[in-house]
Amino acid sequence: MRIDVHTHIIPEKIPDFSKKFGYEGFVSLANKKAKSADMMVFGEKFRTINCNCWSGKSRLPDMKLNKIDIQVLSPIPVMFCYWAKAKDALQVSRFLNDFIAQKCIDNPKKFVGLGTVPMQDTDLSISELERCREIGLKGVEIGTNINNQNLNHPNLHPFFEAAEELSMSIFVHPWQMMGMSDMNQYWLPWLVGMPAETSRAICSMIFGGIFEKFPRLRVTFAHGGGSFPYTLGRIERGFLERPDLCALDSKINPKDVIGNFYVDSLVHSSDALSFLIKTMGTNSIMLGSDYPFPLGEENPGYLIDSNNKILKLDKDKIFFKNAQKWLDI
């Protein structure tokens, strides 16, 4: 069995939320054709997507080709809407969550769903988290920061407590990457900003003691944990040498928190995957492809399959057993 924990989906038809709410910034689709459409943000083209971005049926041939038994469907992060009025973001969240839940109902053997919640309002986020559970979603995807608030912020603690109590999984995906306005050439926000942003989220949760406060919280970070695994030595050094700056809320060495969260396997090279396994361990890594986007893994699972140093027992953990634990399925 193979479970791909990192795939994205968007509804084929999106209401005109900008017109409905009276201000811009919400995602829409333009130049819609049978097999493609343009995602628009603030009236400008964000990217062109293919029909496999909205159609569950269109995904199935790719899944069969790559031996993927189950895809975990999550929203595209640009649709988080944390910047919007909370009550409006709630409506967008409910629309997306109902869409994803229906995809899972239509094909329960192939799809498992994660929702989105208006994280800028703790009460509304918890309310929608509860509803996500009621409609059959297994967790939610959240950003690496909430309007520049790090994930250790006290405002978020009730949400994490609720996720723990409801046994809802959390998938942390970079969005609104740091330095976007300073490095908008060469796709640098995606190539440089995303790995840094994910490390920011992991470090915030580790240094903020989130995994101590909520030990049953099941969290996965996208893109192999970003730059975190590869800079862990530096992070530990900072913790040891400057506890006055790093050990304010947690006295636990960052290396000792490994095993309390998961990362996906999307690191793009065999050497990087080998180092990820050495750093994180096979109990903490899950197959993730970022399907169906260009920076995703073209042949999901190939780097794992082709690495002869990974034992079959450990490949099974990465391919599906860890995902079953994370999703509680």
DSSP assignment, residue 1?
Answer: -
Residue with tokens 């796709």: 187
User: pLDDT value at position 182?
Assistant: 87
Q: Where are the domains of the chain?
A: 3-11+67-327
DSSP assignment, residue 74?
Answer: E
Q: How confident is the model at residue 180 (pLDDT cuts 50, 70, 90)?
A: confident
Nearest to 274 by CA among 265, 263, 283: 265
User: pLDDT value at position 173?
Assistant: 98
At 47, is the secondary structure helix, strand, or coil?
strand
Q: Which CATH number fits domain 3-11+67-327: 3.20.20.140, 3.40.47.10, 3.30.1180.20, 3.10.129.10?
A: 3.20.20.140
Q: Is the pTM of this model over 0.85?
A: yes
Residues in the chain: 329
CA dihedral sign of residues 238, 241, 211, 128:
negative
User: pLDDT value at position 181?
Assistant: 84
Q: Are 62 and 50 in contact (CB under 8 A)?
A: no
pLDDT tens across 99-110, in order? Answer: 999 999 999 999
pLDDT tens across 233-283, in order? Answer: 999 999 999 999 999 999 999 999 999 999 999 999 999 999 999 999 999
Q: Are 49 and 36 in contact (CB under 8 A)?
A: yes
* Residue 60 in this model has a pLDDT that exceeds 90: yes
User: pLDDT value at position 32?
Assistant: 87
Sheet of strand 36-41, all strands in order from the earlier edge strand to the far edge: 28-30, 36-41, 44-50
Backbone angles phi, psi at 165, to 5 degrees: -65, -35
Give 326's contacts (C-beta < 8 A, 6+ positions apart).
Answer: 5, 169, 218, 220, 262, 286
User: pLDDT value at position 250?
Assistant: 97
Q: Are 46 and 40 in contact (CB under 8 A)?
A: yes
